[in-house]
Structures are given as structure tokens and as C-alpha cells.
Amino acid sequence: MVFPAIQTLPSPLKTEGKLLQNTGESVDDPFHDTGMTRTGSSALGEMLTSSKVGGVLPKASLFLDPNPSPFRVGLPTNVNSWGGAAPSSAITSALNKPIQPKFSPFSTIPLVPKDSISGSARNLSDTIKQSIERSSILSNYSLDEFSQTKQWAIGISGSQTPSDLATLLGATNKGETGFIPGTYLFEFSKTKSPQEIAQILKGIHDKGGTIDFFFPLVPRQHEARFIPNDPLFPQQWHLNNTGQGGGTPNVDANVIGAWDVLDSQNRPINGLGVTIAIVDDGLQFAHPDIAPAYQASSSFDFNGNDSNPTPSTGDGHGTSAGGVAGARGNNSIGVSGVAYGAGLSGIRLIAGPANDQQEANALTYQLQSNHIYSNSWGPADTGSIKEAPGPLLLAALQNGVTTGRAGKGNIYVWAGGNGRGSLDNSNYDGYANSRYVIAVAAHRNDSNGVFSGYSEPGANLLVTAPSNGGTLGVVTTDLMGADGYNGLTDQNYTNAFGGTSSATPLVSGVIALMLQANPNLTWRDVQHILVRSAEKNDPTNTDWTTNGAGRSVNHNYGFGAVDALSAVNLAKNWVNVGSETSFTSGTQTVNAAIPDNSSTGISRTVNVSQNLKVETVEVVFDAAHTYRGDLVVTLTSPSGTISRLAEVHNDSNDNYSSWVFTTKRAWDESSLGNWTLKVADQVAQDVGTWGSWKLNIFGTGTALPVVTVAATDAVAGEPANNGQYTLTRTGSTASALTVNIAMNGTATNGADYTTILTPVNFAAGSATAVVNLNVIDDTLVEGTETAILTVLAGTGYTVGAAASATVNIADNDEGTSVTLASNYSGVSENGKTNLVYNFTRSGATTNSLTVNFTLGGTATRGNDYNAYGGNFVSPTTGNIVFASGQTTAQIEIVTTGDTVKEANETIAFTLASGTGYTIGTPGAVTTTILNDDGVLNQQGTTGNDVIEAGTTRNLSGRAGHDILIGSNASDMLVGAAGNDTITSGAGFDVIAYSLASEGQDTITDFNVFQDTLQVSAAGFGGGLIAGESIAAAQFVLGTVATTASHRFIFNKPTGQLFFDVDGNGSSVQTLLATLTPNLNLTEDNIFAA
């Protein structure tokens, strides 16, 4: 199944001839010394051989040099050979660093690990980043495919333009890919091998600043998918969801891809050689789409006690289920089953009452011929029934998994239940929660595969599968003629089937495909494969969590939606899991009252010292309670994985009597540690006592250790401050352990620090392994670089959540940092004040320095303004030169006045990378040309502006410390927030204030005979009356208010004007503005609005 935003894995490694022989040497390192030497010429041309590599490989397949230089191989000796363009400092530094010159095309280590993706590409989705990492693993391609590769996708950021970078690399820029922003298609000539290109690109990427990621565009021949010719197949969305009926495309079981896989005998995977027993109300084997698959010798009617499982009129359930699993496909009629080449047996059991003996007989009938038993039935889904198999059926199930299929075990698939509407839970069904069965939930065709409204949750669920509940039902076989569900013109088929009854045979069909791919799978192998291959449907569902083994699990879906293609591919080369081992705690007596109406409840813990790799966990639970539906029962594993075994529901029955709950949610975790069972009565009135419980854990012998890494000394630096990583493993330390790692980051392994070799070895008896990072001092100005150690997958361990750690390496080489600032944030278009951009360098200033910049904004140089200083190479790029010893350089902007009514325009300078400096903060400044034509109010920016009156007489500074310059006419000037400088000019001017706290302005030329200070009566308060000048009693000359009426205090010698909201009361006066000293200001100059 491929859900939206989840991409298909690349095809597996293909091999031709003899490739690598396992000699004990690691070839996972892209720079691993393969020990190659020339052997002369042959039919394949000049060849290379190796003591470490079996066979002979074409020279073009490897990038080798028997006399290696200490520098990068295949790089130009001068920039002219690359087209003459000057490379960025990141490229120059990367190209000049010595590295190991040999390169293996067999590397399983990604050239671009997802954690090393840089720039804006860091914001790509996890699935895209994962795909980039996969696509950069060279071993995913055959040698023939890779050697034909000419085109590479390259994510580019920084100052280097794609065209310049292409010239530097000797490539042709074919333009943007159009799918990932900033990603370009580069085509290289055949003068450089793909291995050379890969190494060059990796060198630049690892240095950082130019290439965010890269991967080869390897051409591969694809084949058309097999599509059966059954006329109703286009309606079978559960097999191939193209969006029929408004569904979500690809929300299906991903069956078509599985049908294209070939088994060991080169036959298409369709279930051939596998028989699915449909245990139900009968199977109409005369149906034309079922007859070719029918297995009479392994069918039986346990209701009628004969060998004919034909259903009664109206019992169409089993026939429809059988069609979902194995209706004959590609026969030009009707529908196709998931396993359209499998055999189908009919086991008629639920058409009438059946006892424990009959159920046991049915579920083991012909257990060597019947491989899979599909069960779309169980107790009534009311939520109040706790019904479990009888002892005979339980023993039969155990017998089936032990002796069926020649000892590999029968596969029992069971419907998880349809009682969600009644608050039922699959764990209340003793059939569906048996550890021997695969419990299946159902999800819809739409809404990204959200659960169907009836599908029960449960910690026992293993997977979910497509069924009805969305916009469409499931199209499958029906009783022939008018009997059955119908709904289609051809009444032998129906589009109205669904429930977990349909999801279950679908999973049975997928298992049949798996068993054809690998007939040696055991019943437990099948469960392991389904867990590992399931897709995360409904990805935004909040119940998704990651268990202690790193597996996503959900109470509604188990481990996710069944994916036939992934399951089949995994099955083909599956290695059987070890023998089952178990732990039991024995009965744990509690005998404690359960607090009523309390979410806290009571808890008990069992400590497990036996280290199992967990599969299924059972909890045997006893509680005396008068309304058992009040109880919430949860189990927490040592890793913190929570399994909700019982929830509040409508069940008025008494007691849990040795009820067995199961959970699959701790799958693959270690059993070591504390397992805690919590019981809470969350509803008032009815009360009870928790009597006892027992914990049973089933799995394989010993859980694999989990390996994590931490930076135990994360701060390193030149010249000799070293860093350190510590890897830690869980579980037994009795044996040594070899762990694969990769080194990435902006620092280069072997150049910025002494080479860290891979893999890392844990000594026997040690739970930790230390990796020291020894810094190499150089003379390059690099800034702080990162060295990232990542734990990779390997044999004998699993990778924990803390899979990578970073050490920062500080540089000790004095560099130059350049910053950018401007004198003002904005100036008036027709004003007399110019903008000045100030470039400042710090650090080394001995030499001259050329600093690059880019130019943007909505204003146009040469039209809206002229720039003086600096060199403008193009309309959008340029540079400025610092002379030796000079610390500042300037570009002055002179605006071009006009009378055009237009929006404010911006000028944006941004420092760009170059040679000999780093970009400091701030590195970008945007200023504004304020339009002063045809607007009622000329407003500044939120920064520090110079606003001059033109045809507009109303000026507003907004935030910032602004300069407002009025005209010779009458102006309205509003400084607003900030400490502003206001020159009103001639005319009758109004200087307005909204609040006394706006700032402390300077008014340079206030004329007491013409100008007015206008204050807001509402904003200032203090009893000011709007619409008139302030009263004489509200104005005083001096330094403080001396009466309760005083509001404005003017210190005439200094020119300071204060406001006091309560006169000589307790409030503190506020400095409003500073005017000309000894100004004859009076109350008549202040007007309240």
C-alpha cells in the first residue's frame, strides 16, 4: 500500500557476474580502500582486480588510482578549465581539502544521509528526505545502470547560481526539476565517470553552503503492471484505488505490485500452491469465479456433517469472503481475488450452532492441505459479551500452529470485530485475541484510510485492511442469481460487502501471496512480516505511537495497513525467526479494592529478568466487580509502551474471571524490566476488588541489543580540543559486537579530524564503546564545523532513537566577518535625505577585501533611485571593496523624485558569500522609499525614517525614532511611537499626540503664534475636554505641578514640556517633548482633540 506522501522504495540491488565476495572487509565506507590494481586489457577493455573483491570489474565501474594523490582526484587544476567562473569559498575549500581518493560504487552508506540535507531542503517532508537518502545509496543500482548515468538532481542554495555551479563542475544546467524547489538537473559529459561525479559532489555537499543534497538520475527500464481482465476489477478499489467514488488514491492493499513479483520458479505471485480455507456459513463452489479455485478434498460442512459446504439460500457471507480472498482472476469474468491463483476450501461452520468440538474440528480440518484459515466471525459485537474459545478449540489452534503445514504452522486470520458503535473492543473477543491468530481491523477507501466506523480498536490487532465504511463497499462474488447481497447488474456479484468480514479474507489472500513467495515461512514469520511491512495509514491519527523497538503502532490499526507488495518482497528472502520462548510471572495476588470513580486506580508491577524479543503478551486478569464495564485496564511495558486492554464501555455484567487479554503493541521490544498493570474504576457507584493477575510473554530467545550514541564531549576546537562520542548497547554484553557508523556534517573525516574508521567494536563485557574525535589544526578560515556520527543498521543489533550525535569543532583561524546596516529605514521619495548602506568588517583588516551582495526589492536602480559606491555587476548582483585597513564602506542611495502616485517601494541589499569573509548578523537590510504623491497621509515604516512633506501635508512616523520635516505650508505632523525629531517649517502646523507615553520628541522650530500641540483628550486623560484649548489652570511654568489642576508643566529655561495626569497627586509626570529653550509657550498653544 502506498498512502499519500509516502513514496515507493527504489528497486533492490541488482547484480551481474561476480561482484563482492565476503572477505571480512567492510565496503560500507564510500572511501574504503578496495585494493584495486590494473590487470591489463580484455574483451571488457582495461580491467581492475582486487584481493578484496572477487572477480573482475570494468574500469569504468570504479574510481581508483594505484598511485593516489593526497588531494581530490579528478578536480580541475585551475578555474579556467571549469569555464572561468570563480567558485564560492565553500566550493574552493571543499575542492582543496585532502581526502581518501578511492571510492567504492558498492557502498550501502548514503552519500547524502537525510540528517545532512541542508538549506531550505531541511524543511522537506520526512518521506522526501528519506527518499533522497535512499537515492544516494549507490548499491541500490546495478553497475550497468549506474555507469550509464549522465544526469544528477542537485539541490542548490547560497550565492552560487545554478549556471555558475554547472560551469564550475563542467556540466550543463538543464533547468529546475519543477518538483522540489531549488533543485536543478545537471547533465555531465562522459569525460567524467559517475563515480568521479559522485565524489566531487559529495566533497562540496559535505563542506556545506552550496549543495544541499544530490542524487543520480539513474535510468531504469520499467514494465507495465499486470492488470487482470476481469470486467469488475476497475471497481475493486481495495485492490487498486485510483480514486473511484471519491476515494483517496492508493489507499488499497497494494496488490498489483505484488502480482508482478516472481517466485523462485519464475512464476507470477498470485497464491499458486496455497489453499485458503474459508471458515464461514458456506462457500458456493459452483460460482463461476470460485469453481476453478475450489478444493473439494479439503472442504467440509460441519453444520450438515457432509462434504458439501454449499450455503443455504441467503447465506452469502462466506461466498463473498471467499471471493475477496481468492476469486479466480484474469478469466474475463466478474472479479479477481487477492490471491487469484490460490485454492479455496469451504468450511461450513457458522450456518447453525456449533459446539467446541465442531469448532476444533473445523479449524484443523485437513490442516496439511489447508494452509490458511480465514475467519470472518466471532461472538456478537455488543460490548457486553466476553466469549472465548472452548478448551478444545484452544488446543486445536495450538495443534494447528504446531503441526499444520508440515510443522510450519497453519495461519489463522480473524476478524477484529464490528462493534465500535457499541464501544466494543477486539480484546473482549477471546477468538480474535488469541495469540495464535492475526486479528484484522478495517479502514475506509477515503480520508487517507481512516478506520471504518464499525471497526473495533484493540491492543490485540496486528494490521488493518481495506473495507467498506467510506464512499464505497467491496466488490466481490455473491450468491448466484437474486440471492445474496447483490447491488450490481450482474447479480452473481455484489458491491455491498464489507466489515472486518471483508478485511479478514483480504489479509488471508495477502498471506497466500507471501507463502507462494516463501513456502518455508512459519506462522510466527508471517506475523513478523506483516508487522514490518505494514504502512502507516491515517497518519494524523493521534493514537499513533512508536514502541520501544521503533515500530509505529495504533490501537485502531495495529501496525498499520496491510501492504501486499512490501510483504511479498520481505517474505522472499525472509530468514525464519528463532524458536518461540516464553516467560510467565505466575499468579500475582493483589486482593485490593479498586478506588471508585478514580482515574488513578491501583497498579502492580512484575520485574522480568529474562531477555526476550517480545511478540505477543498475555495478561490473565481476575477482578470481582458489579459492573465490569467501569474498569479501565492498561499494561505498560519497560519501554513505556501502553496497551489499553479494557476501556469504559456498556457492560453491566459482573467480574472478570481469568479473562485473557493480549497485546501485540510491544512487538520486538526487550522484555527486560518492569511491566506494570494498572486498573482504574472510572465510573461512580459500582465497586469491586482486583483479585490477581498473571503476565505471559512470548517471543524469541534473546532480544537484540539496542545501540544509541551520545556526544559525551560535544565541544571541540582547533588546535587541540578534542571531542568524544559514546555508543551504548542494551542487553547482554557477554559477546563483542560490531556496529556500523557513518561520519557526516560540515567537517570532513580525515581532513578536519583524524580519520574515524568504521565499524565500531564493543568489547566483550562492555556496554559502551568510545569514539574519540581528534581535531586537526589547519590554517583555513572555516568557522565552527560539525562532525555527526550516525549509527547505521547492521547485524546483531537494532538502532535506537538516539541514532546520531554531533560534535562542534570551533575554528581558531582569525577570519573576517562582514555586517550590513542602513542609516534610516525609509526616506521620502522627493525628500532631501539620502539612504546610506554601511558595510562593516571586523576581524582581520590588513588586506583589501571584496564583498559580494545581491540587490532586490520593488524599486528599480536607475529609475527609482541611483546608487553611488560599490560595483554593480548585474541588476541584481554586485560587490563593494574594502581598502587595506578600512573597516567600513558605504553605498549611498539617492531617490529619484517624481509625481507618480504609487505604492511605497523597497530596496533590499543582502550580503552574499565570497572569498575571505563570513557573513555576520545582520547580513540583509531592506529600506523603503516612501511615496509622497497623491496620498492623504505619508506614513513611515516601523523603523527609523526621514519623512519630508511633499504634496502630502500629513506626515506620520509610526514606530521608530523618526525625523519629520514639514513644508512651508500648513502641515499635520504625527511622530507616534519612538523619540522623534520634528521640524514643522513655516505655516500653521499641528503636531499631534495620541498618548503621553508615545515617546520623548524634539521639536526644533515651534512657532507660538502659528503652531499648535494637539493632544488626545481620551488618550491623555486627566480631565482634558475635547474640542478646546486647555484651561489656564491646567498649564504652569516650572519643573513640577503645584496644584491638582496642573496638567502641562513647561520648564522654560530647558524647553522641556511635561504632562502629569493628576497634577500634584501621586502620579509621575511624563516628558512629552523638548522645544526651544525660553520659548513663550502658553496654554493657548495646546489643544485637546
- Return the closest-CA partner of residue 1046 out of 1079, 1024, 1015: 1024
Q: Which of 28, 206, 252, 280 is catalytic?
A: 280
**Helix (H) / strand (E) containing 515:** helix 500-517
The DSSP line for 425-481 is: -GGGBTTTT-TTEEEEEEE-SSTTTPBPTTPPP-TTEEEEEE-SSSS--EEEE--ST
Coil, helix or strand at residue 705: coil
CB 762 within 8 A of CB 733: yes
Task: Give the C-alpha separation, 316 to 483, whole Å.
Answer: 8
**Helix (H) / strand (E) containing 704:** none
CB 693 within 8 A of CB 626: no
To 10 degrees, what angle do helices 564-572 and 523-533 make? Answer: 130
To 10 degrees, what angle do helices 564-572 and 500-517 make? Answer: 30
Convert 185-241 into a string of H (helix), E (strand) and C (coil).
Answer: EEEECCCCCHHHHHHHHHHHHHHCCCEEEEEECCCCCCCCCCCCCCCCHHHCCCCCC
**Helix (H) / strand (E) containing 309:** none
Residue 501 known to be catalytic: yes
Q: Which of 205, 317, 371, 961 is catalytic?
A: 317
CB 932 within 8 A of CB 964: no
CB 360 within 8 A of CB 395: yes
Coil, helix or strand at residue 510: helix
Number of other residues whose CB lies within 10 A of the CB of residue 265: 8
Task: Give the C-alpha separation, 1022 to 714, whole Å.
Answer: 60
Q: Which three cell numbers stand for residue 870?
A: 560599490
CB 583 within 8 A of CB 665: no
The identity of residue 876, as a single letter, is: T
CB 164 within 8 A of CB 158: no
Residue 317 known to be catalytic: yes
The DSSP line for 561-613 is: B--HHHHHHHHHTPPPPPPEEEEE---EEEEEEEPTT-SS-EEEEEEE-S--E
- Which whole-number Å values give the CA distances from 717 to 203, 505, 750, 778, 806, in the listed order? 21, 62, 15, 11, 13
Pairing label, strands 151-156, 211-216: antiparallel
CB 415 within 8 A of CB 378: yes
Coil, helix or strand at residue 176: strand
Q: What is the dihedral of CA 255, 261, 264, 269, to 10 degrees?
A: 30
Task: Give the C-alpha separation, 834 to 435, whole Å.
Answer: 81
**Helix (H) / strand (E) containing 588:** strand 588-594
Query: Cβ-count burial of 882 within 10 angstroms (0-12 exposed, 13-18 middle, 19+ buried)?
Result: buried
Q: What is the dihedral of CA 425, 430, 435, 441, to 10 degrees?
A: -40
Coil, helix or strand at residue 923: coil
Q: Which of 501, 637, 670, 828 is catalytic?
A: 501
CB 703 within 8 A of CB 671: yes
Number of other residues whose CB lies within 10 A of the CB of residue 36: 22
Residue 582 known to be catalytic: no
Residues carrying an active site annotation: 280, 317, 501
